[in-house]
């Protein structure tokens, strides 16, 4: 009897997790992002971002919205009206933080070319307080 009740309870719990709503976007689907900005600026190629230090990134993009540090890795997050730009930085050979690469996503977390997003972030940059 306990076994039947346990199976029934598990089934009800799993059914409760289903909302019946169709998921509109998901990471890893291969769906391309859509870039649409009121102030797109000029595209900034990733090779112009690579190698920049923190002060240079602040001059180019303004203050990051978020700064995450994990050991020798660091990710700065910037936003514009069209996208989110993630700049990954690393410390190598005892030197300061340097940008290694950038990733960009539209407002629905679909991948975008980083150069378009970087241009809009720079055009809409936040002031450093």
Q: Is 61 exposed, middle or buried (0-12, 13-18, 19+ CB in 10 A)?
A: buried
Q: Is 78 exposed, middle or buried (0-12, 13-18, 19+ CB in 10 A)?
A: buried
Tell me, what's the pLDDT at 129?
42
Query: DSSP 3-state assignment of 3?
Result: helix
Residue 41 tokens read as 């600026």
**Residue 66: phi, psi to the nearest 5?**
-150, 145
pTM over 0.75: no
Structural domains in the chain plus CATH codes: 41-129 (3.30.160)
Average pLDDT for residues 58-87, to the nearest whole number? 93
- Cα distance between residue 3 and residue 106, in whole Å: 48
Q: Which one has a higher pLDDT value, 75 or 12?
A: 75
Please write the tens of the pLDDT for every residue from 10-69. 555 555 555 555 555 555 567 787 777 788 788 999 999 999 999 999 999 999 999 999
- Cα distance between residue 94 and residue 84, in whole Å: 30
């Amino acid at each position: 009897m306990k076994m039947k009740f346990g199976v029934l309870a598990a089934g009800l719990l799993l059914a409760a997790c289903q909302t019946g709503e169709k998921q509109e976007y998901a990471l890893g689907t291969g769906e391309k992002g859509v870039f649409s900005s009121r102030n797109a600026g000029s595209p900034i190629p990733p090779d112009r971002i690579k190698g920049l230090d923190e002060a240079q990134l602040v001059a180019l993009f303004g203050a990051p919205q978020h700064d995450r540090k994990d050991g020798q890795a660091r990710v700065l997050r910037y936003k514009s009206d069209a996208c989110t730009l993630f700049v990954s930085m690393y410390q190598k050979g005892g030197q300061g933080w340097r940008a290694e690469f950038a990733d960009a996503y539209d407002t629905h977390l679909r991948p975008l070319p980083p150069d378009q997003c970087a241009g809009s972030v720079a055009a809409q940059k936040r002031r450093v307080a």
